[in-house]
Chains A and B, each alone.
Chain A
Amino acid sequence: MKMENSYKDLSAEIKEVAKKVLAEEDVDQLLGFAQGEFSGLTEPVIIKKAEQAQRMVFTEDATPMLSKYLLEYKEKKQAVVAKPCDTRAIAYYLSEDIIDRKNLVIIGINGCPGLKDNTACDECDTRNPVISDYQVGEEISSAELAAELKGVKYLLEDMTPAERKEHYSQEFARCTQCYACRDACPVCYCDHCYVESNQPEWVEEGSSADKDMIFHLMRTMHMPGRCVNCGACEMACPEGIDMRSMTTHLYHKAEELYDFRPGISPEQPPLLSDFSKEDSEPGFL
């Protein structure tokens, strides 16, 4: 059994499946990746005809989260090429009922080989789609995945809080509040974002490192129970700020405290819209 699917094999399979989906299913459009015509980069594309599917690829640079593009056209019937993290985001959308399952055809990528420079892929715990109609590639068995994850540590776990404070002081000094992290995040989809609200003004005008930290703390506070740990925020950051360590911490804490993993099933209620009477009270007076 091979450990990982190659990008080439996956691309070829995606092309075949995409053609089949466009021919057989009654979809308005298909979201996938293709080589940019001028840039040569891997870019998201909207494909409407089966013959255009020949352009499609899957490479190590396929960083944009196509799940987020689904929301843009959610009244249409769409097919989407989904990385495992995308499928988790989609399962999360379904659990919040913001998109109709009947309008979706999901082409899941089995045994995702990961993306270049994405630290989230090194500690990825979902390498097969959680929800899909078609699949490409070969599945990674759970035993294989467990072996790979053995000994993997998540970011900044070993530092003391004081060291992390120092670390974040350095990191967030570079933030320019461009909100690329928010825009790239598949589970950040409010129509009206708190950062743009001026009644109340959560994030004040001006850009000092302090304000940047407030922005990031508030953004992270929207993430527990949502973040699927895809690493899109960090990949989108033009300053290379490591902000995923905060969301990842909450991701692992939610699993530890509430046995909750976001986007595992469409039936799962969101973490903070649910409770158990037996929830623990760590550090309560």
Chain B
Amino acid sequence: MATAQQEAQNKEEEFEPKIIAFLCNWCSYAAADLAGSSRLQYPSNIRTIRIPCTGRLNPLLVIKALDRGADGILVSGCHPGDCHYIDGNYYARRRFTMLKELLEFSGVEPERLNFTWCSAAEGRRFAKIVKQVVDRVESVGPWQGFLTEPGFADGMEVGEIEDGEFL
């Protein structure tokens, strides 16, 4: 019993963030590959989703990922000017900036939302970025959802309506 409790406690202490990484097929995904084939060590907290271009990233997907329990988000694309589709990452930059502004405004910690550029040759940089992102997310702890306490607001109860309200 005591060991089980201790284990649970240890588990709580060792917070392993779950980070969804949206990586551009043409650069960052290849950078992750390069980091792997160069045997660079980086934390295994990221779950990679390969996208054709950061311009393809629907901002709603980021909201959805957080809704489904991701602790943090990493979006990585080609450096400005290097987009395989010429200007996809320029559009993504505006879109992500607006998304970041919105989510930070409504109470999401900025540490959870990460955007960066990483070319196919930058395996070392990719490993560094992942370490950095994991540190950032760890610093703000587990994700608790967009609201503080989901459910009814204070003073609201189901089924208690006075007759007068209908008249």
Contacts and interface: CB of A to CB of B under 8 A. Distances in A.
A and B form one complex: yes
Interface of A: 161-162, 164-166, 168-170, 172-174, 194, 202, 208-210, 213-214, 217-218, 220-221, 224-225, 246, 249-250, 253-254, 257-258, 271-277, 279-285
Nearest to A163: B107
Contact of A220 (B80, B95, B102, B110): B102
A170 to B, nearest CB: 5
A165 B97 CA distance: 20
Contacts of B107: 161-162, 164-166, 168
B63 A173 contact: no
B81 A277 contact: yes
Contacts of A284: 115-117
A276 B87 CA distance: 10
Given A173-B152, A274-B94, 18 more contacts: A161-B108, A162-B107, A165-B146, A169-B149, A170-B154, A174-B156, A209-B147, A210-B147, A213-B146, A221-B102, A271-B98, A272-B91, A273-B91, A277-B81, A280-B97, A281-B115, A285-B115, A285-B129
Contact of B101 (A174, A249, A276): A249
Nearest to A271: B94
Describe A's contact surface by its main secondary structure. helix
Q: Which 6 pairs, one residue from A and one from B, show the smallest C-beta to C-beta distance?
A: A165-B107, A275-B90, A173-B153, A285-B116, A169-B147, A224-B98
A220 to B, nearest CB: 6
Interface residues of B, number: 46
The residue in A214, A254, A258, A285 that gathers the most chain B C-beta atoms within 10 A of its C-beta is A285
B106 A281 contact: no
Contact of B99 (A173, A174, A221): A221
B120 to A, nearest CB: 18
Contact of A214 (B63, B80, B129): B63
Given A173-B156, A272-B94, A285-B129, A165 B147 contact: yes
B100 A283 contact: yes
B105 A246 contact: yes
A279 B94 contact: yes
Contacts of A210: 67, 145-147, 150
A275 B87 CA distance: 9
A208 B67 CA distance: 12
A275 B150 CA distance: 38
A220 B147 CA distance: 16
B121 interface: no
B60 A194 contact: yes
B146 A214 contact: yes
B41 interface: no
Contacts of B148: 165-166, 169
Interface in B70-112: 80-81, 87, 90-91, 93-95, 97-110
Contacts of A281: 93, 97, 115
B147 to A, nearest CB: 4
A172 B110 CA distance: 22
B39 interface: no
Nearest to B128: A285
